[in-house]
Amino acid sequence: MDTPVYGDYDQRTLDRQYSPSSCVEDINVFLDRYAVESERTRRTVPARRGIRYGEQPPETLDFFPATVPDAPLMVFVHGGYWQELSKNESSFPARGLVAAGAAYAALDYGLAPEYRLDEIVAQVRRGLAWLLEHAVDLGVDPHRIHLSGSSAGAHLVAMALLDDWRPGGLHPADAFAGATLLSGVYDLEPLRLTYVNEPLGLDVHSAARLSPIRHLPARLPALVVARGGAETDEFVRQHEDLLRAVAPRAASVREVVAGHRNHFDITFDLDQQASELGAAVFAQLGLPATTPRP
């Protein structure tokens, strides 16, 4: 038996546990669909693209305005292990959400190894602070700003809910009305011991500092915590550990396990009210019933 490096996992097994693509036949099917569906959305839903929220080159966002005033806003932070993807592959949930009366923003950030994870976290926080500051100008109700993120994006959203920063002087539980966390990594210590850490360069101290589950505030907004049915055991554990940790802190917690989905395609349910995840998201946003996305 090989030497364990984390719990009962040897190196090869731990690497596989933090490789979500091990649960699907071909990850490129989903990455290609992100791009195709996002391009289709940008052709049909009006958007303001490349809005700058900070001075660094990656600090931009795409904003899809609502069709009604004082609308809720859903902000999406993409995944890709902090190393891949961008806002350009993150437009697709705007179709159903804007049709239902919400605004939508896809937030970009710098990628590792060019940017350290501390810098990435700071960029996402700056983007959210910018949206809070400009909500009224964007036609958004500043009291109905909701966050969502997938995989690494869920980690970044969770970091934005901590109380060690103050967007506009507000506690994050007051600044944001809710958050949806999809298949996230909330404790980085095991991930630090895998191949994923090569471009990140986390050590034991930075992994602890950047693990949101270790720094949860006393108060959190309403949460939807979701994962696919086809996930590795470690992603399931991370999901369940977070649920237990946020239960006494959040205004409300809704768990969703989408049995027909995996780590990569669960995001396609975000704007589909007919799905369990979509229904939870629409309810959190206060959106009325709508027809399925075309």
pLDDT of residue 289: 72
| CA atoms of 269 and 102, how far apart (whole Å) | 16
Contact present, 71 and 101 (Cβ < 8 Å)? yes
| CA atoms of 264 and 267, how far apart (whole Å) | 7
| CA atoms of 78 and 90, how far apart (whole Å) | 7
| CA atoms of 248 and 262, how far apart (whole Å) | 28
pLDDT of residue 170: 85
List of residues 6+ apart from 230 with CB closer than 8 A: 23, 24, 261, 262, 263
Contact present, 267 and 94 (Cβ < 8 Å)? no
Q: What is the CATH number of domain 4-285?
A: 3.40.50.1820
pLDDT of residue 294: 47
Helices 117-134 + 152-160 axis angle, to 10: 60
The pLDDT tens digits along the chain (294 residues) read 589 999 999 999 999 999 999 999 999 999 999 999 999 999 999 999 999 999 999 999 999 999 999 999 999 999 999 999 999 999 999 999 999 999 999 999 999 999 999 999 999 999 999 999 999 999 999 999 999 999 999 999 999 999 878 766 788 999 999 999 999 999 999 999 999 999 999 999 999 999 999 999 999 999 999 999 999 999 999 999 999 999 999 999 999 999 999 999 999 999 999 999 999 999 999 998 755 444
pLDDT of residue 166: 73
Kindly list the domain boundaries of the chain, sorted by start residue.
Answer: 4-285
